Structure 1
Amino acid sequence: MSKSCCKNNRGRPKTLPDENQRQVIIKGARQLFLEHGYGATKTEEIAARCKISKQTLYRLFPGKASLFAAVVEANRPQWLELPVPEGLPLQTALERIFRIDISEAEDQERLQFIGMTLAEGRHHPELHEITKTCGTGRAHATLAEWMQRQADLGRINLAEDALKTARMICDMVFGALLMKTLGEVGWPSCEARRTHIRAAIRVFLHGVCRATAD
């Protein structure tokens, strides 16, 4: 085989489509943010982890803050699972939405990410707004849409508007999830925490379920 033939076959390295490359970068950045924190992670480290140039990184993400926003948005399904199948019993639906029965590994991964955003937000105030806009705010809005649909179907009564109600139950559930992260005494076991959250959901539903005729 001629040298020219070998040279032609070698060609240039294949590059991923932009959307695929974005997902690789988001995954790599997430790993580094968890390992070192947002503030200590440099863009050149992200580029090296993803085996790309900084030029490619900045072409797809204008800066580290925009990349953090993309990471938060990509991880939002870890917090709430929506949509869920219609017609589920309300207790079952909310347990599924809040992902009560995920594995311990998935649970730790979720808590680690939320803990990182809280810790880094203390040193980088701009992250609070990013997390609210791309994470908690959208999660609340999506849950509020589900709750409004249940109200429209006559399954629940909303004493407050749907968004306020969504925030209330998120506070109840995530307050229990994040006790140790927030510096309080942790749960003796994951099952003890699941039991508490199921009870919190029952208490919540007791106040919004329609009264049935005797």
Structure 2
Amino acid sequence: MNKSVILESPRATAKRQQIMAAARQLFLSQGYGRTSTESIRQVAGVSKQTLYVYFPAKVELLSAVVMAELWAFDAPQAPAAPVSLSELRARLLGLTHTFTAQVMQPDALALLRLLIGEAVHLPELRGTLRRAFPARLLAGVEALLSAAHQARLIDAPNLNLSARMLIGPVISFVALDGLLSDQPISQGPPTPPSRETLAELVDLFLLTVKK
């Protein structure tokens, strides 16, 4: 049987999840550099051969773990066009709120910091960082703005630039209040921006594409 078919079976999916869960646990508890493939194999309870069938390199495991953590956020790439400005506002607010709430979870921030640190030395991780962190949200917002522009609800001739005008401030919350937060652990995890704050941000953004 073709190897790709085998790796897509329900049993293979469960095995991948088993290995990724072990890697996630170890990456979060002791970092990437101090986590060996042997320790991952032992915690996952699989053979060395099985581990390498699914993940030939440790760097591939880190990529898979981070993508699984952050891609729980869903930004449809071909959304239906909103029928009104109020619907567009609600959907932009939903995207930004879901994104910040997901990415600013303690484990997600820890994995992002880990990925950023390793991407400095491992160029193959930079694409993973871009896809996992800003690119998915940017593409989702751009697709939604494109649908709204075609429906003549907004005037956004440069969709990518318009999307960046919204995503930049959203990412600043993640970067400044999450990744670079100096809040003592005793005060709890970083707090994502409130829905009210994001609503103000979306309203200010919509002024830039108003017809």
TM over 0.5: yes
Structure 1 or 2, whichever has the larger Rg, is: 1
What is the CA-CA distance between 1:179 and the residue it aligns to?
A: 0.7
Sequence identity (%): 27
User: 1:175-214: CA deviations, max 9, x gaps?
Assistant: 112214454666x97376554333222211221133xxxx
Cα RMSD, aligned residues only: 3.4
Tell me whether 1:32 sits opposite 2:26 in the alignment: yes
Higher relative contact order (CA 8 A, sep 6+): 2
CA distance in 1 between counterparts of 2:95 and 2:62 reads 24
CA distance in 2 between counterparts of 1:131 and 1:66 reads 12
**Structure 1 unaligned regions, length at least 5:** 1-15
Deviation above 6 Å: which 4+ runs of structure 1?
Answer: 101-106
Tell me whether 1:65 sits opposite 2:62 in the alignment: no
CA distance in 2 between counterparts of 1:166 and 1:32 reads 36
CA distance in 2 between counterparts of 1:43 and 1:63 reads 8
CA distance in 1 between counterparts of 2:68 and 2:103 reads 18
What is the CA-CA distance between 1:56 and the residue it aligns to?
A: 0.5
Tell me whether 1:76 sits opposite 2:70 in the alignment: yes
CA distance in 2 between counterparts of 1:17 and 1:200 reads 45
CA distance in 1 between counterparts of 2:34 and 2:48 reads 17
CA distance in 1 between counterparts of 2:154 and 2:108 reads 29
**Partner residue, 2:162:** 165
Alpha-carbon distance change, 144 to 101 in structure 1, aligned in 2, over 3 angstroms: closer
Amino acid at match of 2:146: Q
Normalising by the residue count of structure 1, what TM-score does the alignment of the two structures yield? Answer: 0.71
CA distance in 2 between counterparts of 1:104 and 1:133 reads 15
**Partner residue, 2:3:** none
Alpha-carbon distance change, 63 to 175 in structure 1, aligned in 2, over 3 angstroms: same
How many positions carry a matched residue from both structures?
193
Partners of 1:140 and 1:166 within 8 A in 2? yes
